[in-house]
Structure 1
Amino acid sequence: MPNQRDQAADDSPADLPCLEKLDSPTGSPPTASLSSLMEVQNCVSNLSLAHEIVVNRDFRFNPRSPPTDSLEGRVTEIVHQAFWDSLQEELNSDPPNYSHAVVLLQEVKTMLQSLLLPGHIRLRSQLDEVLDMDLIRQEVDHGALDLHRLSGYIVNSMASLCAPVRDPEVRALRDLRHPVELLREIFRVLGLMKIDMVNFTIQSLRPHLLQQAVQYERTKFQQILDQHPASLDFTSAWLEAAASEEALAARAQSDSPDSRGPVSPAAVLNRAYMRLLHWDPQDQKYPKTALMDRARLDALGQQLKMLVLEASVLLLTSTQCGGSIFSLQGFVGKLRHAIAALLEGSHTRETDLRAALLGIGDVVLQQVTEAVRGQGGVALPQGSQDLLRGQISELWKHNHPVRTLIGERVQGFLQAMLQGGPAKRSPELPASLRLVSAELAELGMAFGRIVHFNRTVFGPFYAPILRKLLFPPGEAETPEDSR
Structure 2
Amino acid sequence: MPNQRDEAADDSPADLPCLEKLDSPTGSPPTASLSSLMELENCVSNLSLAHEIVVNRDFCFKPQSPPTDSLEGRVTEIVHRAFWDCLQEELNSDPPNYDHAVVLLQEVKTMLQSLLLPAHVRLRSQMDEVLDMELIQQEVNHGALDLHRLAGYIINTMASLCAPVRDPEVSALRELKDPVELLREIFRVLGLMKTDMVNFTIQSLRPHLLQQAVQYERAKFQQILDKQPASLDNTMAWLQAAASEEASAVRARSDSSSLDSEGPLSATAVLNRAYMRLLHWDPRDQKYPETALMDRARLDALGQQLQMLVLEASVLLLTNAQCGGAVLSLQGFVGKLRQSVAALLEGSHTREADLKGALLGLGETVLQQVTDALSGQGGAALPRESLDLLRGQISELWRHNNPVRTLIGERVQVFLQAMLQGGPAKRSPEPPAPLGLVSAELAELGTAFGRIVHFNRTVFGPFYAPVLRKLLFPPAEAETGEDSR
TM-score when normalising by structure 1: 0.90
The equivalent residue for 1:34 is 33
Q: Residue type of the partner of 1:264?
A: S
CA deviations 1:358-404 (Å, max 9, x no partner) are 11111111111111111100111000001111111111111111111
Q: Residue type of the partner of 2:298?
A: R
Deviation at 1:342, TM superposition (A): 0.5
Deviation at 1:436, TM superposition (A): 1.0
Q: Does 1:98 align with 2:91?
A: no
Indicate the larger mover: 181-190 or 228-237.
228-237
CA deviations 1:111-169 (Å, max 9, x no partner) are 11111122223322322222122222222223222111111111111112111222221
- Between the aligned partners of 1:257 and 1:473, the Cα distance in structure 2 is 27
Moved over 4 A (4+): 28-31, 474-477
- Between the aligned partners of 1:30 and 1:348, the Cα distance in structure 2 is 39
Judged with a 3 Å threshold, the aligned counterparts in structure 2 of structure 1 residues 455 and 258 are, in CA distance, closer, same or farther, namely same
Does the CA-based 8 Å contact 1:311-1:433 persist in structure 2? yes
CA deviations 1:231-258 (Å, max 9, x no partner) are 2121111111111211222222234466
The equivalent residue for 1:126 is 126
Which of 323, 327, 335 does residue 325 from structure 2 map onto?
A: 323
- Between the aligned partners of 2:464 and 2:30, the Cα distance in structure 1 is 26
C-alpha RMSD over aligned residues: 1.8
The equivalent residue for 1:279 is 281
The equivalent residue for 1:388 is 390
Deviation at 1:34, TM superposition (A): 3.2
The equivalent residue for 1:360 is 362
Which of 436, 448, 455 does residue 434 from structure 1 map onto?
A: 436
- Between the aligned partners of 1:406 and 1:231, the Cα distance in structure 2 is 36
The equivalent residue for 2:20 is none
- Between the aligned partners of 1:469 and 1:257, the Cα distance in structure 2 is 24
Q: Residue type of the partner of 2:106?
A: Q
The equivalent residue for 1:112 is 112
Q: Residue type of the partner of 1:410?
A: V
- Between the aligned partners of 2:243 and 2:79, the Cα distance in structure 1 is 59
**1:70-469 alignment to 2 at 5 Å?**
70-254=70-254, 255-256=257-258, 259-469=261-471
- Between the aligned partners of 1:200 and 1:334, the Cα distance in structure 2 is 41
Indicate the larger mover: 124-133 or 396-405.
124-133
- Between the aligned partners of 2:120 and 2:340, the Cα distance in structure 1 is 55
Indicate the larger mover: 42-51 or 363-372.
42-51
Q: Residue type of the partner of 2:33?
A: L
- Between the aligned partners of 1:41 and 1:348, the Cα distance in structure 2 is 32
Judged with a 3 Å threshold, the aligned counterparts in structure 2 of structure 1 residues 383 and 168 are, in CA distance, closer, same or farther, namely same
Does the CA-based 8 Å contact 1:242-1:272 persist in structure 2? yes
Identity rate of aligned residues, in percent? 83
Q: Residue type of the partner of 2:32?
A: S
- Between the aligned partners of 2:180 and 2:320, the Cα distance in structure 1 is 68
Deviation at 1:476, TM superposition (A): 6.4
Deviation at 1:421, TM superposition (A): 0.8
Deviation at 1:445, TM superposition (A): 1.3
Deviation at 1:30, TM superposition (A): 9.4
- Between the aligned partners of 1:368 and 1:208, the Cα distance in structure 2 is 54
- Between the aligned partners of 2:248 and 2:72, the Cα distance in structure 1 is 55
Deviation at 1:33, TM superposition (A): 2.0
SS in 2 for 1:109: helix
Judged with a 3 Å threshold, the aligned counterparts in structure 2 of structure 1 residues 104 and 446 are, in CA distance, closer, same or farther, namely same
SS in 2 for 1:395: helix
Does the CA-based 8 Å contact 1:251-1:257 persist in structure 2? no
SS in 1 for 2:475: coil
TM-score when normalising by structure 2: 0.89
- Between the aligned partners of 1:415 and 1:371, the Cα distance in structure 2 is 37
SS in 2 for 1:377: coil
- Between the aligned partners of 1:113 and 1:47, the Cα distance in structure 2 is 28
Deviation at 1:347, TM superposition (A): 0.4
Does the CA-based 8 Å contact 1:426-1:441 persist in structure 2? yes
- Between the aligned partners of 1:426 and 1:387, the Cα distance in structure 2 is 36
- Between the aligned partners of 2:328 and 2:232, the Cα distance in structure 1 is 50
Does the CA-based 8 Å contact 1:316-1:392 persist in structure 2? yes
Deviation at 1:458, TM superposition (A): 0.7
Give aligned pairs, total: 450
Indicate the larger mover: 391-400 or 228-237.
228-237
- Between the aligned partners of 1:352 and 1:56, the Cα distance in structure 2 is 31
- Between the aligned partners of 1:71 and 1:247, the Cα distance in structure 2 is 53
CA deviations 1:209-246 (Å, max 9, x no partner) are 12222122212221221222222121111111111211
- Between the aligned partners of 2:242 and 2:417, the Cα distance in structure 1 is 13
Q: Residue type of the partner of 1:402?
A: V
- Between the aligned partners of 1:92 and 1:284, the Cα distance in structure 2 is 58
Q: Which ranges in structure 1 are unaligned for 5 or more consecutive residues?
A: 1-27, 478-483
SS in 2 for 1:68: coil
Q: Residue type of the partner of 1:198?
A: V
SS in 2 for 1:394: helix
Q: Which ranges in structure 2 are unaligned for 5 or more consecutive residues?
A: 1-24, 480-485
- Between the aligned partners of 2:68 and 2:303, the Cα distance in structure 1 is 35
SS in 1 for 2:400: coil
- Between the aligned partners of 1:258 and 1:34, the Cα distance in structure 2 is 56
- Between the aligned partners of 1:118 and 1:419, the Cα distance in structure 2 is 48
CA deviations 1:409-459 (Å, max 9, x no partner) are 111111111111111121111121121112111111111111111111110
- Between the aligned partners of 1:95 and 1:283, the Cα distance in structure 2 is 66
- Between the aligned partners of 1:146 and 1:228, the Cα distance in structure 2 is 58
- Between the aligned partners of 2:333 and 2:308, the Cα distance in structure 1 is 20
